[in-house]
């Protein structure tokens, strides 16, 4: 690439978050990026609730179009697998730009974000991330990597929350989201890890995206979390080799089972956590939840207040 490449920003939405979506799209369009910038909003049908029939993605797209209309914004229906991975791939397919980027419909790009990342890509990268600012309630906590590149080994050892989907910018056609991710869980971690296996990610270590955890669809879907972690272990066997990375994943599995009241499964995963790394804090936390000494929501609230997750 030379000059300032064109960028297509994919914002997937389930259609019931019009206020958040408008803010997310407005923040993208407010970027001072010197090149061509466009937005593709991909409308996915909302998850069924209360026994209601799932609306079609096409019907949702019609509803969404009125909320984010503009000359640089297109609204399309998810034409692939229902859920976030299919919606993102639909967006990638709809773009004809040099680069594609993701922004979740409840997150905000901060000023200078896109220009800084594309400049880093022009220096020889394929896939860029950046630091984030986690917002929970009235508190905002910056999360930085302390580095200008992220390797596959980094992403095995730690999930690296700052390598967040709303920070992703990469060459169109380089990678696609894996639609087999259970419940859309960990598709972003998988994508970043596959990209890092090709070449280290270029990382702009400044908080350039505000990630608003309070509006996340995935905050307490424990069964999906379990399936997503097991899916990652199967796809990336190296996660079970690094002691620190293995202990983190096993500890998350222990906590998720504890949150569901699966005491025996929580105890089994906690034992595997201790075996991998004795000092991993998620194991005793999971055992405390399994024993009823503290609730999973209480633990998550305390962690989120500090800008951390389980």
What pLDDT is recorded for position 45? 84
Rounded Cα distance between 109 and 144, Å, is 16
- Structural domain boundaries of the chain? 7-215, 222-305
CA dihedral defined by 152, 134, 246, 273, rounded to 10 degrees? 170
More confident residue, 124 or 260: 260
Rounded Cα distance between 184 and 225, Å, is 9
Rounded Cα distance between 229 and 272, Å, is 15
Q: 61-70, 105-114, 189-198, 227-236 — which is least confidently predicted?
A: 61-70
Q: Which CATH number fits domain 7-215: 3.90.550.10, 3.40.50.10490, 3.40.50.2030, 3.40.1280.10?
A: 3.90.550.10
What pLDDT is recorded for position 67? 82
pLDDT tens for residues 91-113? 999 999 999 999 999 999 999 99
For the segment 270-295, the average pLDDT, to the nearest whole number, is 96
pLDDT tens for residues 132-173? 999 988 899 999 999 999 999 999 999 999 999 999 999 999
CB atoms within 10 A of CB 278: 10
What pLDDT is recorded for position 51? 47
| Residue 80 CA neighbour count, 13 Å, CB half | 19
Rounded Cα distance between 206 and 147, Å, is 10
The tokens for 241 are 């080799």
> Which of 167, 101, 165 lies closest to 130 in space, CA to CA?
167
């Amino acid at each position: 690439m030379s000059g300032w490449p064109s960028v297509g920003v994919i914002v997937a939405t389930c259609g019931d978050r019009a206020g958040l979506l408008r803010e997310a799209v407005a923040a993208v369009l407010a970027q001072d990026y010197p090149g061509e910038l466009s937005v593709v909003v991909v409308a996915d049908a909302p998850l069924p609730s209360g026994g209601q029939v799932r609306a079609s993605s096409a019907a949702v797209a019609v509803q969404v179009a009125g909320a984010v209309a503009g000359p640089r914004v297109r609204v399309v229906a998810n034409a692939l697998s229902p859920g976030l991975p299919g919606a993102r791939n639909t967006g990638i397919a709809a773009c004809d730009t040099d680069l594609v980027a993701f922004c979740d419909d409840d997150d905000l790009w901060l000023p200078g974000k896109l220009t800084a990342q594309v400049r880093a890509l022009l220096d020889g990268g394929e896939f860029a991330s950046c630091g984030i600012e986690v917002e929970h309630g009235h508190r905002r906590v910056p999360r930085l990597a302390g580095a200008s590149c992220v390797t596959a080994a980094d992403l095995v050892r730690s999930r690296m929350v700052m390598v967040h989907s709303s920070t992703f910018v990469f060459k169109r056609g380089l990678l696609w989201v894996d639609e087999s991710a259970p419940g859309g869980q960990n598709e972003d971690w998988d994508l970043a890890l596959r990209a890092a296996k090709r070449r280290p990610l270029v990382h702009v270590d400044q908080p350039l995206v505000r990630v608003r955890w309070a509006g996340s669809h995935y905050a307490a879907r424990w069964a999906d979390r379990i399936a997503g972690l097991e899916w990652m272990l199967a796809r990336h066997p190296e996660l079970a080799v690094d002691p620190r990375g293995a202990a983190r994943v096993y500890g998350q599995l222990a906590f998720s089972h504890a949150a569901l009241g699966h005491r025996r499964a929580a105890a089994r995963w906690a034992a595997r956590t201790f075996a991998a790394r004795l000092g991993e804090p998620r194991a005793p936390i999971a055992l405390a939840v399994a024993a009823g000494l503290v609730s999973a929501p209480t633990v998550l609230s305390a962690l989120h207040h500090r800008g951390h997750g389980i």
